[in-house]
Chains A and B, each alone.
Chain A
Amino acid sequence: MTNILDDYALMSPLRQQNNWLKLAIVLFGLLVGISSTSPVPSLFIALCMSFTTIALGKAPLKLYLKLLLAPVGFAVVGILIIAFFSGSGQELLSFKFLGYPLSVRKDGLELALLVLARSISGMCCLYFLALTTPMIELFALLKASRLPESFIELSMLIYRYIFVFLDMALSIRYAQTVRLGYSSFSRSLHSLGMLGSTLFIRSWEQGDKLFLAMNSRCYDGKMTLFEVHRPVGTPELLLTSAYFFLTLALLYLTKNASIV
């Protein structure tokens, strides 16, 4: 029963840690990662977050690498554009492609590597949160942040429906595939239309039923969540401060450094 990241988060030992602390660590990583002008602090953040997720959070290494690989692929496509088309300094590499001259310049390459490092650090931070904190815990944070009641209610309902949808979508898709529904392009288009509309209407009906069931049990838009009080222990506090301090030091030291 481990279909999505939330399932791993529910089993993670770091789940028992204070949610605000985890959120602070993630936001700190994101902010420093994006404001660093050299890839070194970003890569340091990525390394620390990965270590915490795998060693302390007990996320399977294989899964983690697989998770990281997909967005890194997208990032590489994005930075290739930056590498080729921005920058004005010294040319490092140039060749002709279909008659167009393409060249990688020094500062273009530097910018591309920096952006790649920032993306990786950001993704490691997000995966740390995703793999150690189940959504249920985050709802408690949302409640505490005093966002409008209807916004939170809608978020929770959407969260519930994502699972209704995914279950139904997978089984319908399986049934369609078995009946050769995706054997040709026009067929897959037709199957997808059927899948989409059936999914929409069925989930809608199921949603109506759920709502009716909740209303008949005196649901008035306020779902009370059970929030566990989890104090921050000394080891966590020390580790986090050391991490914050080291990252800020690296950020300061690499302020004017150049890598290429």
Chain B
Amino acid sequence: MHIMEGFLPTPWWQIWFAVSIPVILFGIHKLNRLVNEKREILPLLAVAGAFIFVLSSLKLPSINGSCSHPTGTGIAAIMFGPAISAVLGIIVLIYQALFLAHGGLMPLGANVFSMGIAGPVVAYLIYKAGMKANLNFYAVVFLATAFGDWATYVTTSVQLALAYPAGDVLTLAGFMSSFGKFAAIFAVTQVPLAIMEGAVSALLFKYVVNVKSDILVEMKVIEDKVVKKLKGISA
């Protein structure tokens, strides 16, 4: 869930903006360089952005129909790296705030930090580590997107707990107790949802590898020999 409009009190939404803006600027810088180098990458970038939007609007088979949803940022992080994912994240979040009143403009900084920065960074690190360890590509994609999704929700819980610690004054104990409660409530739906998102992303990459593996290789997402191995298995 994105944090809603009006939910974050005054010092916190400014703080999260201050944290997120440098990352976004760096992301825009990287985006400029990538687009100047290879203009033909733009449609793919836009598709990844729209995919994040649709994935967080499409209802998944959920257990109790709560406010959780997949984030979809893991795929973008694997393909383009976390900095560009952050830019895609902020565009998508602005659209969701304006179209669906999902999230909001004031907590935008906090939402960008959880969904556009923390989640993708975790997904990217897991992906890189997994590929270095020579694990199965699909297993790595599964792990990266699932953990990226969880990282997003843990970050959201941290943000909420910082803003609303138990006992009104921000102490470590109050923060921890409040954090535990927010995280526990998210966990009910988010643990199965993240696993599902991981599975769907792995399936997605399977089709992409089958049909358009050349672009993945060109963008240095996976190496040529891995593609050959994967195609050998799946063919």
- On A, residues with C-beta under 8 Å from B are 4-6, 26-27, 30-31, 33-35, 42, 67, 71, 73-75, 77-78, 81-82, 85-88, 107, 111, 115, 117-123, 125-127, 129-130, 135, 138, 148, 150-151, 153-155, 157-162, 164-166, 169, 182, 185, 188-189, 192-194, 196-201, 203-204, 207-208, 210-211, 221
Contact = CB atoms under 8 A, between A and B. Distances in A.
A166 B51 CA distance: 10
Contacts of B4: 71, 74-75, 78, 119, 122-123
**Top-3 shortest CB links A-B:** A122-B5, A118-B6, A207-B43
19 contacts: A26-B105, A74-B4, A74-B67, A77-B185, A82-B164, A86-B166, A122-B4, A123-B6, A148-B28, A158-B49, A160-B46, A162-B95, A165-B53, A199-B51, A200-B51, A201-B207, A203-B51, A207-B46, A221-B39
A200 B87 CA distance: 19
Contacts of B232: none
A211 B212 contact: no
Contacts of A198: 207
A151 B84 CA distance: 11
Most chain A CB inside 10 Å of its own CB: which residue of B49, B101, B204:
B101
A5 B71 CA distance: 22
A193 B220 CA distance: 24
A86 B43 contact: no
A160 B164 CA distance: 38
Contacts of B182: 81
Nearest to B174: A86
Contact of A30 (B5, B7, B164, B208): B5
A210 B50 CA distance: 15
Interface residues of B, number: 69
**Chain A interface, >50% SS class:** helix
Contact of A74 (B1, B58, B98): B1
Interface string B170-185: 0000000110011001
Interface of B: 1, 4-10, 13, 28, 31-32, 35, 39-40, 42-47, 49-51, 53-55, 58, 60-61, 66-67, 87-88, 91-92, 94-95, 97-102, 104-106, 160, 164-168, 177-178, 181-182, 185, 196, 199-201, 203-204, 206-208, 211-212
